[in-house]
Amino acid sequence: MPAYRPPRIAASEITPNAVYLQRREFLAAGAFGAMSLLSTHRSEAAALSTVSSAYKVDETPTSREDVTTYNNYYEFGLDKADPAALSGDFKPLPWAIKVDGMVGKPGTFDLEQLLKDFPIEDRTYRMRCVEGWSMVIPWNGFPLAALLDKVEPLGSAKYVAFETVVRPEEMPGQKSVFQSLPWPYVEGLRLDEARHPLALLAVGLYGETLPNQNGAPIRLVVPWKYGFKGIKSIVRITLTDTQPVNTWQAANAREYGFYANVNPAVDHPRWSQATERRIGESGFFNAGRHPTLPFNGYADEVASLYAGMDLRTNF
Amino acid sequence: MKPTLRSSLKQWQPTLVWLTYAVGLAPAVWYFYLGATGGLGADPVKTFELFLGLWGLRFLILTLAVSPVRDLMGWNFIAYRRALGLLCFYYILLHFTVYLVLDQALDVTAVLNDTLKRPFIMFGMAGLAMLIPLALTSNRFSIRRMGAHWIRLHRLIYIIAACGVLHYALSTKVFSMEQLIYIGLIIALILYRSGRPILRNRKPRRYLTTSP
């Protein structure tokens, strides 16, 4: 069985980021200007100008390498390495998000404009996957609440529904004979959850625009919930008065709920949620197991949202 | 008489059986090396664990395929079946060891809780437990001593195969194409075995004749 071995690259051989970012100018300036046109179709990380924020967990961030090569994004394939390997054809720009439903000012928002309207914050969050592994990720983004304020939700709106793009020609997992899930991938939050300051619309990580495999160009991050709530490549947000069904709940309601709050006391029917393997820390001879914390360590901030609720039945 | 391909194969058979063990264990050694030197990606333990389980299933499929291949295609690999069966056992034992030592860090309480509470782990453990007596009696001495009991005992492999399929099918969030292929193959092999006595009646004594 062939195994992939990452090449060893000496630090001296790595092009400095500033030089790398100028490569198009270099090409355009030369006689091979046409070549730069070819590169416009590829998605490439671009630096974001960001502001700092108070939302930073005091833990070592997972390496950029691990964050961008170990992904669950079934639109590109089921294997953790598939999204990085098979998302090269995906075109994240231009991009627009339609916001509709029970809002005073529905509209379609161009991503470039949103990036100008809102300051992009640096936020380092824990990320806990329902499968039992976790990371610490330095995201860049703006609060979901900021976008919701723009559209003025009506008093009758109780929930927010999200939808991922459907592009079989660019997303191999949506095109293959064997379909793992029905598309589009959908998710939902209660409006008060969506308005919580921790709920983030991420447009980048490690100070650069999101790679395709991480949900380019814009994705949801709700750090106190399991990772599958963080819907990627969002094209539509709908305010509604009925609780939306999310993709995983529709696939298996016994195992995945609407809330999906991280909870070490409520096991997945097929595996324990009491501990997690921290990616990067867990070497071959060191399982790197951490105890899983209620609400993924964000209980002080979010537990009040669920006061009086039975978290065993509302899992 | 001129030596035929068949007879020269027979002459080399002991060597080829040992070669089967060596080649069969090579993937485990290679992946262990990759894991120990940081070559198995972001989640090396999980990758290694899954890899060992998959190779266990592959050798299980090869073991079960020996009889159908002989019946349907006339190729006789019976001399290699013990090696294939034992390789399946070694991989499943390694799969369990990695789960216990590298994944769960020898937290016996967690492993016991998992075994009692989670059907997919229960099926896996049951399969491993049943493989042990088969591995212990995979030798000439036991075959001679146990006679007909040996054959009856070794029919357990079909129950083990069913446990393996359930363990694999219940372990993931959604079925992948690869998973469906493995599950389909094992179900086909179990069904073939349950239909085999009928085939046997149609062609009596075929397996009792010894080659000259």
Chain B: residue whose CA lies nearest to A282? B43
Within-domain flag for B68: yes
Query: Which residues from A are below 8 Å from B45, CB to CB?
Result: 277, 282, 284, 287
Strand ranges (DSSP E) for chain A? 50-56, 96-101, 107-110, 120-128, 133-143, 159-164, 186-190, 200-205, 208-209, 219-221, 234-240, 275-278, 289-291
Cross-chain residue pair A285–B102, CB shorter than 8 Å: yes
Give the closest-approach CA distance of A64 to chain B in angstroms.
11
In terms of DSSP H, where are the helices of B3-139?
Answer: 5-36, 44-73, 78-97, 108-117, 119-136
Q: Which domains does chain A have, with CATH numbers?
A: 51-306 (3.90.420.10)
A193 near A305, Cβ under 8 Å? yes
For B84-137, the pLDDT digits (tens) are 999 999 999 999 999 999 888 888 998 998 899 889 999 999 999 999 999 999
A265 vs A273: CA distance, rounded Å: 7
A229 vs A220: CA distance, rounded Å: 8
Within-domain flag for B210: no
Which of A69, A75, A270 to mutate: most B Cβ within 10 Å?
A270
Q: What is the pLDDT along chain A (315 residues), one digit of tens a residue?
A: 556 666 666 666 666 666 666 555 544 444 443 343 344 434 567 899 999 999 999 999 999 999 999 999 999 999 999 999 999 999 999 999 999 999 999 999 999 999 999 999 999 999 999 999 999 999 999 999 999 999 999 999 999 999 999 999 999 999 877 788 999 999 999 999 999 999 999 999 999 999 999 999 999 999 999 999 999 999 999 999 999 999 999 999 989 999 999 999 999 988 889 999 999 886 778 767 899 999 999 999 999 999 999 999 999
Give the closest-approach CA distance of A155 to chain B in angstroms.
37
CA angle at A179 for the pair A174 and A180, rounded to the nearest 5°: 105
Q: Is A275 on the interface with B (CB under 8 A)?
A: yes
Query: Which residues from A are below 8 Å from B51, CB to CB?
Result: 1
Range of the domain at B160: 5-202
Within-domain flag for B18: yes
Within-domain flag for B212: no
The b/e string for A10-35 (b: 16+ C-beta within 10 A; e otherwise) is eeeeeeeeeeeeeeeeebeeeeeeee
Q: Is A69 on the interface with B (CB under 8 A)?
A: yes
Q: Rounded to the nearest 5°, which phi and psi values hold at B206?
A: -60, -35
ipTM of predicted complex: 0.72
In one-letter notation, the amino acid at residue B147 is: G
What is residue A29's predicted lDDT score, i.e. its pLDDT? 45
Q: Does A232 belong to an annotated binding site? A: yes
Query: Which residues from A are below 8 Å from B35, CB to CB?
Result: 284
For A172-222, the pLDDT digits (tens) are 999 877 788 999 999 999 999 999 999 999 999 999 999 999 999 999 999
Cross-chain residue pair B118–A271, CB shorter than 8 Å: yes
The encoded tokens of residue A285 equal: 């001879």
The b/e string for A137-169 (b: 16+ C-beta within 10 A; e otherwise) is bbbbbbbbbbbbeebebeeebebbbbbbbebee
Half-sphere exposure of A166 (CA within 13 A, CB side): 10
Q: What's the domain count of chain B? A: 1
Within-domain flag for B59: yes
Candidates A66, A269, A275; nearest CB to B42: A66
What is residue A18's predicted lDDT score, i.e. its pLDDT? 60
